[in-house]
Amino acid sequence: KEDAFTLKLASPMHDIGKLGVPEDILKKPGKLTKEEFEIMKAHPFLGYEVFQNSKKQILKMASIVAHEHHEKWDGSGYPRGLKGKQISLVARITAIADVFDALGSARSYKKAWTLNDTIDFVNEQSGKHFDPELVKIFNENINDILFIRKKFRTENFCTI
């Protein structure tokens, strides 16, 4: 319970490193160039650096989550190419939550996906992007997840 509470507080800081990414890249309406994407890929390490030396448990966890939330279960992620359980559990959980939220939200460069398409994507990425056990837990708890999403819903989030 204590770790879950700490993750609840730490995970929203996963993209803190984007403070070090130029605004024109963050808000670009189209696809990023290869060079722009390389700059964007620096944000996990920048986020790690912000909190890495903290003695506070929440900020230590935020550092880990920021550093590892773009790693992928199959090892194809960044910044370090971690694979499977080399990726911390808190980052693996945050990765699913982040992608679920990002796909279902409108951005300057894309429309929000439908709920069904978003859930299908999470399931298709089981064993690739996401920990298969966590995808199973995601599916088992989808009604609770949708309840929480509805409770904290913004106008940008997806509709069915």
Q: Which residues are catalytic?
A: 18
Q: How far is CA 90 from CA 15, 41, 95, in A?
A: 14, 20, 9
Buried b (16+ CB within 10 A) or exposed e, 123-155: eebbeebbbeebbeebeeeeeebeeebeeeeee
Contacts of 75 (CB under 8 A, 6+ apart): 81, 82, 83, 84
CA 63, CA 117: separation in Å to the nearest integer?
A: 31
CA 19, CA 148: separation in Å to the nearest integer?
A: 28
Q: What is the largest CA-CA distance in the chain?
A: 43
